[in-house]
Structure 1
Amino acid sequence: MSEDPFAERMKRLEERLAAAHEQRKEPERRPNEYQQGSLAWRMVIELVVGMVLGLAIGYGLDALFGTQPLFLVVFALLGFAAGVRTMLRTATEVRNRRGEGALMGPPPGNSDTDPEGPR
């Protein structure tokens, strides 16, 4: 007797499934490029938002109290400082491989790329 017809049908089905699976595969992406770009934009936005909020609060207080440039200057500087602080916190997250920066590099403790060695 020849081969079992059920086994032949199963073999053809597996081949068709494998071919369909190959067609549905998405092309490989390079996530590091997109990740670094999004991280850079995140840091820029954090700085700008800090500045804008400081300016808005300062202008509002100046308009409320009638002290034109005083609060505007003070809160603009505070907003800038807050934006820089937030950017530094984001940089620390990336360095510690948390948050958005988790996919940007090898895991911590990889002695091949980490000059400090394992942690």
Structure 2
Amino acid sequence: MAALEARIAAAKAAKAPQRKHQEEHYSQAHLAWRMVIELVAGLGIGFGIGFGLDALLGTRPWALVLFTLLGFVAGVKTMIRSANEIQETKLAEQAGENEGTRDGD
């Protein structure tokens, strides 16, 4: 029974790096979708505000164009903020790993 448990533990250990890679890939896809959604949300909100103002004021298409562009800028700005946040998180993780390897020496 102990030999079987040892073989199972060895098999799990062999698959562990692959699972970490899959989790990392999923995490990257999640972050990419987050950025796409932020951009589309900015465009959609700007479009909606512009369309509404055009309907109220009768200034078609000026408010629509203006607010769609402002929504695009806001979406890009949000994407850049998210990318910086992700980068800072990754750098902090790497610094923690590097410090952990120094302590082990």
TM-score (norm. length: structure 1): 0.61
Equivalenced residue count is 86
Distance 2:27 2:94 in 1: 18
| Alpha-carbon distance in 1 for matches of 2:92, 2:72 | 32
Residue from 107, 111, 115 that aligns with 2:93:
107
Are residues 1:94 and 2:86 paired? yes
Instruction: Tell me whether 1:70 sits opposite 2:56 in the alignment.
Output: no
Return the index of the structure with the highest Cα Rg: 1
Cα drift, residue 109 of structure 1:
2.6
| Paired position in structure 2 for 1:55 | 47
- Structure 2 residue matching 1:67: 3-state secondary structure: coil
1:84 paired residue number: 76
* Larger helix proportion of the pair: 2
- The Cα shift of 1:31 comes to 1.1
TM (normalized to structure 2)? 0.69
- Are the aligned partners of 1:59 and 1:71 in contact in 2 as well (CA < 8 Å)? yes
After TM superposition, what 4+ stretches of structure 1 lie above 2 angstroms from structure 2?
27-30, 108-112
One-letter amino acid of the counterpart of residue 88, structure 1? I
Report the equivalent of 1:32: 24
Is the 1:96–1:108 Cα contact (8 Å) retained in structure 2?
no
Counterpart Cα distance in 1 of 2:34 and 2:59: 34
Percent of residue pairs identical: 48
How far 1:111 moved relative to its partner? 9.2
